[in-house]
A and B are shown apart, each in its own frame.
Chain A
Amino acid sequence: MRFDIYDFTSFTQDIDRLLQENLTPFWATVAELTIVGVVILAFYALVGLFLVYAERKVCAFMQNRLGPNRVGPFGIFQTIADLIKLLMKELIPIKHADKILFNLAPFIVIIASFMAIAAIPFARGLHAIDLNIGVFYVFAVSSMGVIGILLAGWSSNNKYSLIGAMRSGAMVVSYELSVGLSLLSIVIFAGTMQLSGIVESQADGWWIFKGHIPAFIAFLLFITASTAETNRGPFDLAEAESELTAGFHTEYSGIRFAFFFLAEYMNMFIVASIAVTIFLGGWMPLQFGGLEGFNTVMAYIPPLVWFFLKVAFVIYLMMWFKWTFPRLRIDQILTLEWKYLLPLSLINTVLIALVVLLGWHF
Chain B
Amino acid sequence: MSSEALVLFFIVGTVLVGGAILFSWYAAPRSYNPVKFEPYECGIEVNSSAWIQFNVGYYLFAIIYLIFDVETVFIFPWAVVMKEIGMRAFIEILIFFFVLVLGLIYAWKKGALKWV
Q: A-side interface residues toward B, CB under 8 Å?
A: 29, 32-33, 36-37, 40-41, 44, 87-97, 103, 106-107, 110-111, 113-115, 117-118, 128-129, 135-136, 154, 156-162, 166, 169-170, 173-174, 176-177, 180-181, 184-185, 187-189, 191-193, 245, 250-251, 254-256, 258-259, 330-331, 334-335, 338-339, 342-343, 346, 349-350, 353-354, 356-357
Contacts and interface: CB of A to CB of B under 8 A. Distances in A.
Contact of A356 (B16, B65, B82, B115): B82
B9 A114 contact: yes
A95 B83 contact: no
Interface residues of B, number: 68
Nearest to B55: A166
B100 A346 contact: yes
Prevailing SS type, chain B contact patch: helix
Prevailing SS type, chain A contact patch: helix
A91 B24 contact: yes
Contacts of B75: 181, 184, 349
B115 A335 contact: yes
Contacts of B41: 158-160
Contact of B97 (A110, A118, A346): A346
A115 B6 CA distance: 7
16 contacts: A36-B5, A88-B24, A88-B27, A95-B39, A107-B18, A110-B13, A114-B16, A129-B6, A154-B51, A158-B39, A162-B54, A176-B65, A187-B79, A193-B76, A356-B82, A357-B90
A184 B72 contact: yes
B93 to A, nearest CB: 6
A92 B37 contact: yes
Contacts of B12: 37, 40-41, 114
Contacts of B21: 91, 103, 106, 255-256
A170 to B, nearest CB: 4
Contacts of A192: 80
Nearest to B54: A162
A129 B5 contact: yes
Given A89-B24, A90-B31, A335-B113, A110 B82 contact: no
Interface string B1-37: 1111110111111111110110111011111000011
B76 A114 contact: no
A174 B65 contact: yes
Given A87-B27, A110-B16, A353 B82 contact: yes
Given A40-B9, A156-B50, 10 more contacts: A29-B4, A95-B38, A103-B21, A159-B41, A173-B62, A181-B72, A185-B79, A187-B80, A334-B113, A353-B90
